[in-house]
Homo-oligomer: A and B are copies of this chain.
C-alpha cells in the first residue's frame, strides 16, 4: 500500500481529517522505522474490525497532580493515545504523573508514543493490554496479551533512546501478515519463557488495576532530573541501541 492509498482508505473508513492524519502518521512512521506489522497493514485490519466508531472522541475524565484518567469512549486506541500525548506536551506534569486510559485499543507501536513524549523532553514508561494470545509456559489456552513495555528517554544531545518490547516471541501483527503462525505466538525466551510470561502477566494486571478488564493503557510520565542517554550512547561505542534505525 502506498501513502496516498493509505490516506484515502482511512478517510473512507469515516475518520475526520485530524484522526485520519493521526492514524496515517502512526502507520507511516511504523513503516519508516521498520515496524511494518504496525504499519499500513493495520488499515486492512481496521477495515474488518467490528464495531469501529470513527466519529468517537476520547475524554479526560479525571485529573489530579499524580493521576489523569482518560476514557476512549469508543475511539480507537491510537486516537486516544495521540490525544494523551498532545495533552501532556501542552501541559506537562510538574514532576511526575500516571495516566490511565480505559477502553483504549488497539494502541499500535507503543514506542512511537513514548518517542513523541521524549521529543518534548519527558521520560515515559507505557504499557497496554490486548486480547489474550500468550499461553502459560506449562501450556493451555492463551492467558495474557503480548502486553508490550515501551520506555522513552529524552536525549538533549541527539536521538532519544526508545525501548519497545513485546512479550511475545512473534507479534500478533506478524501473524496477521502471515509471517508467523499462531502457534509461534508464545512468550519469548525459549527455556526462560516463564520470564516473559511473568512480565506480560504483571504488566496486564498493572493496567487492569487502573482501567479494568477492558483493554487499555497506563503511562507513567515525568520531567527527568538527569539526562543519561548521551552517556549511554558513548559507553555503547557505536553498538546499535533499541529504537535506532
Contacts and interface: CB of A to CB of B under 8 A. Distances in A.
Interface stretch (A13-21, A43-51, A91-99): A91-99
Contacts of A231: 213
A2 B206 CA distance: 37
A210 B239 contact: no
A71 to B, nearest CB: 12
Contacts of A100: 225
A66 interface: yes
Q: How many copies does the complex hold?
A: 2
A161 interface: yes
Interface string A154-165: 100000010111
A228 interface: yes
B161 A97 contact: no
B192 A136 contact: no
A138 interface: yes
A159 B57 CA distance: 39
Given A66-B95, A66-B96, A143-B236, A225 B212 contact: yes
Contact of A232 (B201, B220, B240): B201
A237 interface: yes
A207 to B, nearest CB: 9
Contacts of A136: 236, 239
Interface of A: 64-67, 93-98, 100, 123, 125, 136, 138, 140, 143, 149-151, 153-154, 161, 163-166, 169, 188-192, 194-199, 201-206, 208-213, 220, 222, 224-229, 231-232, 235-237, 239-242
